[in-house]
Amino acid sequence: MFHGSIVALLTPFKGGKVDEKAFQSFVEWQVAQGTHGLVPCGTTGESPTLSHEEHNRVVELCIEAAGGKVPVMAGTGSNSTDEAIALTRHARQAGAQAALVVTPYYNKPSQEGLYQHFKAIHDAADLPIFIYNIPGRSVVDMSVATMARLAKLPNIVGVKDATADLARPSRLLQDVGTDFIQLSGEDATALAFNAQGGVGCISVTANIAPALCSAMQTAWAEGDLKEAFRLRDVLAPLHDSMFVETSPAPVKFAASLLGLSTDEVRLPLVTATDTARAAVRAAMSKAGLLS
């Protein structure tokens, strides 16, 4: 169900509040542009600064706007196991097809702690779960052995791998086989990740270039390597520009240039600097997104 270009949705704000109308219009545009799947309330969606009520509402709005046309993987992670369980149960009740659960940040659990955290969520919420392994933000790194152990649980179905370790998917593949869905969390190496055993990417860049990201993943899946590599090269400057400063400030500025969202972010994040804005504009122009 989850493959190809899956967008890590930004959350539009207006006057400090979630802009529900803009968000649903944005989801509808993503679907129309060919995005293969949707992830609300991930890091790009500023989940750490959404209240629980806002978090649940954004998931509901996404599912409603998607209208069953593409699957929804709701971000439901937390460094509190009980909180992650509550968010995952809500996602199931709202109609999400899966949950994306980040490794607990700040607590620094051991590998056994990571296993027990995910097992508890698995046992309490009847919903397919993707592990989100991003040591750059959460500090902890789930080992291949721990992930393989979790993969034996029926509802632990895949991973979003943001380690930037391109040996990782191949190693994991040896232990868990092809049924375990491996998705990249790094736009710049998405095709290389596929070559190592992945089947798609949960993308930041897809917020502003959904058609290009989708076309690249489709070309790869269809064996059109020449076109996949061409699109990879078109997208490369965009990927770089989305991370010139802390995400999602650059991508929100990019979205504002396309009239999709304001560039508002919530503290402790701040809007993109002039230097970052210049880099984003240049990359978007080079990719043909701006005239």
End-to-end CA distance of the chain: 35
Q: Is 286 a catalytic residue?
A: no
* DSSP one-letter string for 232-290: HHHHHHHHHHTTSSSTTHHHHHHHHHTTSS-----TTS-PPPHHHHHHHHHHHHHTTS-
Residue 105: C-alpha distances to residues 81, 142, 179, 241, 281 (Å)? 11, 12, 28, 26, 33
Q: Let me know: does 121 contact 81? Beta carbons within 8 Å.
A: yes
The secondary structure of residue 139, as a DSSP letter, is S
Structure-block tokens of residue 40: 């609300």
Of 62, 68, 72, whose CA–CA distance to 20 is shortest?
62
156 is an annotated ligand-binding site residue: no
Distance, CA of 152 to CA of 161 (rounded, Å): 18
81 is an annotated ligand-binding site residue: no
Which residue is catalytic, options 115, 152, 160, 286?
160
Distance, CA of 71 to CA of 30 (rounded, Å): 12
Which residue is catalytic, options 108, 119, 132, 252?
132
Q: Is 115 a catalytic residue?
A: no
Which residue positions form the known binding site for pyruvate?
44, 202
Active site residues: 132, 160
